[in-house]
Structure 1
Amino acid sequence: MDALSLGFSPCPNDTFIFYGLIHGRVPTSGLTFRERLEDVETLNGLALAGALDICKVSYHALGYLRDRYCLLRSGGALGRGCGPLVVARGGATLADLRGKPVAVPGRFTTAALLLRLADPAIDTLVYMPFHEIMGAVARGEVAAGVIIHESRFTFRDYGLTQLLDLGEWWEGETGCPIPLGGIVARRDLGVETIIAVEQALRSSVAFAQANPGEAKAYIRAHSQEMSDEVCAAHIDLYVNDFSLQLGPEGEAAVIELFSRAEAAGVIPPSDVLLFPSL
């Protein structure tokens, strides 16, 4: 079999997780991979175009991908205390945002989905790369922004305040951890290949957790603008037991998110089995 195309982001949690897989440090059942690192919304677009065999995508995007891709149980970002934040300049409130432009890090990001579920009246969304949002809010180009990734740790440096933690809102509403991004595989790869990829990915997560220092150079090569402290905080926040295996709690959280998004008309309904099964 030719090398499988594999897309993930340059964020520290992804490079940490995929290091072992990419660098031959775990068994892969003879499979080889061709990596492509892109920002999350670019990855969503590539998956929507069917351009990658395996891809990290936002769960929002997966709502449109279920006929073509299945969800792997390892390698994703799902947890507690790690949701997107709504931030604004001082003095603003959530009610102030209705009818005003609010920046989100892409149409198909889970951040955009959560904002629509939390307050449908905030509906004037402006899509921009995640790393541009804080500056746009600070300059007054938008009324507020929904921030993700390492922006959680640096928004105060821009003089911004937090209006809402969308992960905290989700956990309060549902009791579930928040599904942010998952790893998907093209269904036409065949179930046996997909299961082998899932097992290799689980091994890669386990390798990273057991050898946290080995991937440091690879992580830093793709996150040069971050300090070591922010890189470490990023990994600690987004890599957890759910990254190794979703388990019943994680799977239930994903199903709950899709159920609510379908009921709100944000994603189309689907009755296709979400996970691979022999």
Structure 2
Amino acid sequence: MNIAFSPCPNDTFTFHAWVHGLISGGEKLDVTYADINITNNWATEVKGPEVMKISYAALPWVLEDYALIPCGGALGRGCGPLVLTAGNMKDPASLAGKKVAVPSEKSTAYLLFRLWAADNVPGGVGEIEVMPFDHIMPAVRDGKIDAGLVIHEARFTYHQFNLTMMSDLGEWWEKDTGLPIPLGAIIAHRSLDLKSIEKWTRESVEYAWDNPEASREYVLEHAQEMSPEVVQAHIDLYVNEFTRDLGDEGYTAIEALLGRAAKEGIVPEFDLKALRK
């Protein structure tokens, strides 16, 4: 079975056991490590792997062919994307007409940014530039762009670039809705045995929690030069009970985010019931 997920610690920690044949009955995996911007495009524009980690924001484009697996993904509190600037530019209104870098235009981060900007940036921002997420902070620091939308471990490291947090979009979302923020989803092609994929994914998550040292070497190997401390903070933040099972609260958060985005014309209109099928 072909699977694609990022080399980020939450994904390698989550899938370590299944990848390494430690799950009873788990089908052998052929893994491709790819940034979520790449998997979003694979899911929405070309024929991608059978199982993928994508942004929740990309789901409206793929639900006809792919089903949402209710475990293995990233959804939680205190883990949202950040809007960063250089210097002391903290007033959102100052972004009007400015150039902003984002990691993907089909990412949850970008979707949240659009919703936040509609409420906080009079007249809207100017040019949007898609950029690999690890290039964004240096570009903001060097003055190549006015602000950057960052994800993942950047929330732990942006101080190293002397940047200022203008907004924590997860905090904004939680205050606005009272719900956790949906970030990354696991999807599987509808032709597959979805119940088995759900079972193997959940068992892989539980194995990782029960045997935290087992995945350490594998996680660090793919951790893109993060320190062990940052790696552990990343796992602690993004691998949580929603990774084990979305539950009603998780589904409600996803429906709220994508339903609101559809009303704003940011994503296509779609049947929200398809998220649970």
TM-score (norm 1): 0.94
Amino acid in structure 2 at the alignment position of 1:265: G
Contact 1:21 1:28 in 2 (8 A): no
Verify: 1:103 aligned to 2:94, yes or no: no
The 3-state SS of whatever aligns with 2:191 is: helix
The answer to whether the Cα contact below 8 Å between 1:13 and 1:235 also exists between their aligned partners in 2 is: yes
1:53 alignment partner, one of 29, 46, 50: 50
Do the aligned partners of 1:116 and 1:122 also contact (CA within 8 Å) in 2?
no
Q: Is the 8 A contact 1:104 1:112 kept in 2?
A: yes
3-state DSSP class of the match of 2:164?
A: strand
Q: Paired residue for 1:7, among 4, 25, 37? A: 4
AA aligned opposite 1:134: M
Alpha-carbon distance in structure 2 between the residues aligned to 1:122 and 1:27: 50
Please name the residue that 1:176 is paired with: 179
- CA distance in 1 between partners of 2:125 and 2:202 (Å): 38
Aligned residue in 2 for 1:42: 38
Distance 2:256 2:63 in 1: 15
Number of residue equivalences = 269
The one-letter amino acid of 1:219's match is: V
SS of aligned partner of 2:276: coil
**Post-superposition shift, 1:123?**
4.9
Choose from 73, 97, 101 the match for 1:76: 73
CA distance, structure 2, for counterparts of residue 265 and residue 154 of structure 1 = 33
**Structure 1 runs of 4+ off > 4 angstroms?**
none
Flag structure 1 segments of 5+ consecutive residues without an equivalent.
none
User: What do residues 97-127 of structure 1 show as CA deviations (whole Å, max 9, x unaligned)?
Assistant: 1111011111111111100011132352111
Is 1:124 aligned to residue 127 of structure 2? yes
Kept in 1, the 8 Å contact 2:40–2:106? The answer is: yes
Contact 2:10 2:239 (8 Å CA) reproduced: yes
Correspondence for 2:24: 27
Q: Which residue of 1 aligns with 2:121?
A: none
Residue ranges of structure 2 left out of the alignment (5+ in a row): 119-123
Conserved in 1, the CA contact under 8 Å of 2:39 and 2:48?
no
CA distance in 2, matches of 1:55, 1:226: 23
Deviation at 1:95, TM superposition (A): 0.8
CA distance in 1, matches of 2:38, 2:206: 27
TM-score (ref. length: structure 2): 0.94
Aligned equivalents of 1:69, 1:275: Cα separation in 2? 12
Q: 1:74 to 1:123 in 2, by over 3 A?
A: farther
Distance 1:36 1:275 in 2: 26
Distance 2:224 2:5 in 1: 17
The answer to whether the Cα contact below 8 Å between 2:73 and 2:184 also exists between their aligned partners in 1 is yes
Q: Letter of the aligned partner of 2:41 in structure 1?
A: G
RMSD across aligned C-alpha pairs, in angstroms? 1.1
